[in-house]
Amino acid sequence: MSYRILVTGGAGYLGSTLVPELLAAGHQVTVLDNFMYKQASLNHVCHHPKFSVVKGDVRNEGILLPLLRQADIVIPLAALVGAPLCKQDPVGATTINRDAILCMLKHLSPQQLVLMPTTNSAYGSGDENNFCTEESPLNPISQYAIEKVEVEQHLMQHPAAVSFRLATVFGMSPRMRIDLLVNDFTYRAVHDRFVVLFESHFKRNYIHVRDIARVFLHAIENSKQMTGQIYNVGLSDANVSKWELCEHIKKQITDFTFIEAPVGKDPDQRNYIVSNAKLEATGFMPAVSLDAGIAELIKGYTMLKNSLYGNV
């Protein structure tokens, strides 16, 4: 069945991978994005007759509300993502990450399905065994995590909503992000051959960006079963520490060196083992392993290097 889908922030890291998959599945897709990074990440779908794009700010009700009224499904990806970016622009973070979503929820009809990415960084360090399920107490520390928790609470009051608590995402995307942990460490391994770790024993879960696209499609196809639920989304065999992640990378870049030093602190104090059993029970299984994603990144970084102000 074909749906009219509104994707806010659809030109971003997740959206530019998701939107082509939604179009390939036969859906009519409208993207609302402010293109703050001057990205051309949706160039390759402009030919598609079921694709439309609006340049604008998700906080502008005059732009957002007419688009909402036309949608069967809303996927709100527009956000300032991550604790460091939110700390850099706390007012922008609150108005985009929280206020715009609350406004959107207020104007939705009960029949409109909302599929929203939240975050498992809200778990903090989990229980005494650092183990987390969807029922575990939340311990958000950063502004980003705190506001995502608040939004999720409002989201789950909507009669047709699914919350995806995403693990740390990795992989190549048309709107690339090098700052994400697997992407960052692999970039350093390719170009510098070393990385200095802090809190190297801290564990977290990971998921490939293409599997994020797949989980949204899975929820559309199984909305009756999944509506009203919160799901962790990650690789069950990739609850690994930073040190173990570097060991995975070293299997493919053998001269990669990594050491530990007390040089930093995770703003969300993410140290947990996450269960993805609830999502897997719906029939969804990730397709891209951590090692396959690292191999993909190594190829991508052969083409990509931040060298704007250097000669090499």
The tens digit of pLDDT for each residue in 177-190 reads: 999 999 999 999 99
Tokens of 221: 């196809």
For the chain of 312 residues, list the mean pLDDT of each consecutive stretch of 10: 97 98 98 94 98 97 96 96 89 94 95 95 72 91 90 96 97 96 97 95 95 98 97 96 97 97 81 94 98 98 83 67
Tell me the one-letter amino acid at 6: L
Residues 6+ apart with CB under 8 A from 256: 189, 193, 194, 195, 246, 249, 250
| DSSP class of 286 | -
Predicted TM-score of the model (pTM):
0.94
Residue with tokens 């559309």, as numbered in its chain: 220
Q: Which domains does the chain have, with CATH numbers?
A: 4-170+206-234+274-286 (3.40.50.720)
| 90 sits in which H/E element | helix 90-93
Mean pLDDT (the chain) is: 94
φ/ψ of 160, rounded to 5, equals: -135, 75
- Compute how many other C-beta atoms are within 10 angstroms of the C-beta atom of residue 271: 17
Q: How far is residue 90 CA from its own chain's centroid?
A: 19
pLDDT given at position 142: 87
Distances (CA, A) of 134 to 122, 205, 258, 275: 11, 14, 33, 8
